[in-house]
Amino acid sequence: MITIDARGTQKSIAEQIIAGNADYILSLKDNHPTLHQQVKNWFEIAPSLDFKDVDVSISQRVDKGHHRIENRTCYTVPVSQLPALYEQNQWAGLATVVMVVRKIQHWNKTTHEVQFYITSLDSDANKIGSAIRQHWGIENSVHWTLNRVYFESYSFWESG
């Protein structure tokens, strides 16, 4: 299973992953504006209708740490449950659309984030939500390490 940020959300990359007998979870942002807007619009309407007649998988998780409480809800829906998506057939193996809603309570404010994904995996909010969380755990730790190393290197050269 391969998770990739929006920059890597490309049809040719999805095709290579499927050809390699793997699955993908690709972040969907304004890099694909028509598809992103379709998925966003669908997820704005469906919850207000309680996902009536839709095969939706929902997973909710709460994490505490780093002086914050993070509530994450992951919704996964098979592509077959949606109207045809823009260039849907050009995404090799596309099976599911995903929405992750994060509510993060800091000591002095609360933030809300919504992120969309497309994936070749079957609709399983627990599995997909866990993979997305692991991706961001790795992403954050790598960025922290890089920032820390560069900061220390910069400080060393500035003081020398």
**What pLDDT is attached to residue 68?**
78
Residue 32 and residue 3: Cα distance in Å, rounded?
17
Residue 63 and residue 134: Cα distance in Å, rounded?
13
Looking at residue 52, what DSSP letter applies?
T
What are the tokens at 30? 């304004």
What are the tokens at 26? 């690709």
Total residues found in the chain within this entry: 160
**What pLDDT is attached to residue 91?**
97
List the one residue out of 23, 22, 4, 17 whose CA is nearest residue 123. 23
Block mean pLDDT (10 aa), the chain, length 160 = 86 95 94 96 90 93 83 96 95 97 90 95 96 62 42 41
Distances (CA, A) of 104 to 59, 90, 109: 17, 35, 8
**What pLDDT is attached to residue 95?**
98
**What pLDDT is attached to residue 155?**
39
Residue 123 and residue 158: Cα distance in Å, rounded?
51
Task: Answer whether 25's CB lies under 8 Å from 133's CB.
Answer: no
Residue 158 and residue 160: Cα distance in Å, rounded?
6
